[in-house]
Amino acid sequence: MGKKILVAVLAILAVIYIGFWVTAPSSVDASQYQALVDKYDVQIVRDKYAVPHIFGARDVDAAFGLAYAHAQDDFATMQDVLLVTRGKLATLHGADSATTDYLVQFMGVWDVVNAGYDTRISQQTRDHAEAYADGVNYYASQNPENIAAGLLPVTGKDIIAGFTFKTPLFYGFDQAVAAVVEGRYGTGLDKLAHLQVTNDPQPDLGSQGISIAPSRSEDGYTRLLVNSHQPLTGPVAWYEARIKTDEGWDMAGSTFPGSPLILHGHGPTLGWSSTVNKPDLVDVYQLTINPDNENQYLLDGTWQDFEIEDAAIDVTFWGPIRWTFHETIYRSKHGPVFKTETGAFALRWAGMDEVRTLEQMLAMNKARTHQDFEAALSMTASPSINHVYADKDGNIAHYYNAMMPKRPIGEAFADIDWTGLLPGDRSDLIWQGYYPFERMPQTVNPPSGYVYNANNTPYRSSTGQGQPQAADYEPSMGIQTNMTNRALRIEALFGGDESISRDELHSYKYDNRYAKGSVADLIITRLLAMTFEPNSDLHAGQKLLQDWDLSTDADSRMAALGVMTTGPFIIADMQQQPEPDLTETFQTTLDLLQTHFGQIDPKWGDVNRLVRGDKSWPLSGAPDVLRAVYGVFDEDVSQQQAVAGDSYIMFVEWAPDGTLSSHSIHNFGSATLDATSSHFDDQAPMFASEKERRLPLDKATLMAEKTSELRLGGGS
């Protein structure tokens, strides 16, 4: 799952007081952090593809090593992530980053972290976060020329704050902010994005996870597919690692820059895949402002004073020149407040006061049994994200994990629309607390023998008995009811196969077809029913698509026209935006193909490409198919370049005797930024050809294929 704070927040910054000073960036004395390594003892062995395998006696040793290894491959992105979390990205990247810096302060991220760091999370979690921070600082001490002024020292609080800030963005908090600021919230135009669909091919929804129980597999194996859809580069692009300590932290999988653990993957006995879910986790209240005192609002018949504070956003413009923008932040009992031309609005969201997300994820990383995993989830400290689970004992499950606000219910609230604007003058509408884990929709060991999620409703997570029923959940929980094309295809492929083999699971994952009844199918049906001039391009294109089987194979000569015509409609549907004009979109696609390829029926793989540096490879796949590919057409090189979708893929299986094997693939390679490295793109050809490599999980196999070995600390 990569998110953008919509530029509409600039409307706030446009009216602020501006302070000015000229100063040179302070020099960075990174050498003081060189001694940090003496606190740790870690071994980093890179396998054939330079993926780091990190070994330590203690969990903190491995956390230190994970930070160091990731910094070796992608320090620039890690630095950006840390500055974002502090609300200081504009000090490095200028005015374009000011909106994000403002949002950090608006959300009160650091107030929450400072208040809860020492009291609400365990010493073990703090030690883990601080060890990871030490790994970043130690890398910086060895590479001082790459360090932004003001970055050091990185602290454990920075790592905790990253989760407090970023996790609400996965369920769309930033979009709610934009809708409020632009005056769209509650108007029926809430989902109308500030940016056009064609400018942002990364959908709000993406990923799939599938678990197969022994009863449904051909050979009695338990199998898990980990298949999140993310941007291929940037702050939420996947980075692969394996970690093993003597204290029981043993995970292989992928993570994001700045995250001190594996976000999804597997340990020796269990694993899980993560997908985005979007229950209704944000409430917006319209406040009544005192006409005689703009710093007061009405609540239960009484004027209440806002809490008022100043947000200072530092922006670098030219070299040493910085400006400080100031904006007042108002806070009500509901939450922080935007004052706009259309009124004053307070926001309340899931996870707004949460600092324990890392602690829950650490418990998931250390879990060894089904009971352990559910105990971790029962912390309810992760604002959202589905988990599709499997273990060596044959247990499978889908958990619609979320911090669901415990909104008041009863006759007095029967007319309240929690998805729209709420009255801000009633304190009984200010919800407190969250539903417990037991109230989350979940499908555990269903009779069907398989579970899945593809960003669809939890009420369809398998087939047959054992699935949650909508009638058992309060409507105020706002649980999603949508289906995606990927969900429809999973049900068609897996639901109809009573004995699923390893090869069939692999084939089904790479299915690239649109289902009957999907958005693509409906758009093509509409298009074929239209009337065009007999000798026109539109008629020729319509005739070509009459025989399209809705597949997106690289060799297809119909997929280019079909996908590029239906793609904008698919993404508009995913983002709940108004759809474009069909005839205009169809004509634009015909013109583009004719201009750049001299024909309207080029092979899809000649159009749809995986690009890395000066190399490219043909791809099958398209938006919202199981082989998910989201691209941007580059007219300069006449290619549609993949920018998001399938990225890190992992197939995990446990034999009946508990033996574990794991295969994975990354879209590019471990050397994220170093174009001179062979590992900059060494996995790309396999990724494009829909193949994976076997992970060397035992140390003897790893050492036989290693490309490097590094010992940090421990007297080395």
Mark the ranges of the chain whose per-residue pLDDT is less than 70: 1-28, 187-205, 319, 716
Size of the chain, expressed as the number of residues it contains: 716
Six token digits for residue 348: 């309340």
What CATH code would you report for 512-625? 1.10.1400.10
Is residue 56 within 8 Å of residue 245, measured between CB atoms?
Answer: yes
| Amino acid at position 387, single letter | H
| Region label for 449, one of left (φ > 0), alpha (ψ between -120 and 50) or beta (otherwise) | left
Q: What pLDDT shows up at residue 23?
A: 32
Q: What pLDDT shows up at residue 27?
A: 54
Please enumerate in sequence order all residues whose Cβ is within 8 A of that of 668, keeping only pairs 6 or more positions apart, or say none.
232, 233, 612, 680, 681, 683, 684, 687
Distance set, CA 64 to CA 135, 196, 256, 288, 496 (Å): 4, 42, 15, 50, 47
Please enumerate in sequence order all residues whose Cβ is within 8 A of that of 303, keeping only pairs 6 or more positions apart, or say none.
290, 293, 296, 297
Q: What pLDDT shows up at residue 305?
A: 98
Is residue 170 within 8 Å of residue 385, measured between CB atoms?
Answer: yes
601/655 Cα distance (integer angstroms): 45
Q: How far is CA 690 from the centre of its chain?
A: 22
Domain boundaries defined on the chain: 512-625
Sign of CA dihedral 663, 666, 671, 674: positive
552/560 Cα distance (integer angstroms): 8
**Residues β-bridged to residue 275:** 386
318/307 Cα distance (integer angstroms): 35
370-377 and 357-366 helices, crossing angle to 10°: 180
**Residues β-bridged to residue 231:** 644
Q: What pLDDT shows up at residue 66?
A: 98
Six token digits for residue 231: 């941007």
Q: Where are the beta strands (DSSP E) in 159-306?
A: 208-212, 222-231, 239-245, 250-255, 264-266, 270-275, 282-287, 289-290, 293-299, 302-305
> Nearest CA to 600 among 572, 548, 558?
558
| Amino acid at position 573, single letter | D
Q: What pLDDT shows up at residue 89?
A: 94
Q: What is the pTM of this model?
A: 0.94
> Nearest CA to 106 among 120, 87, 125?
87
Distance set, CA 592 to CA 334, 560, 567, 575, 602 (Å): 50, 11, 14, 25, 11
CA angle 287, 288, 291 (to 5 degrees): 145
Please enumerate in sequence order all residues whose Cβ is within 8 A of that of 163, keeping only pairs 6 or more positions apart, or say none.
354, 355, 357, 358
612/616 Cα distance (integer angstroms): 6
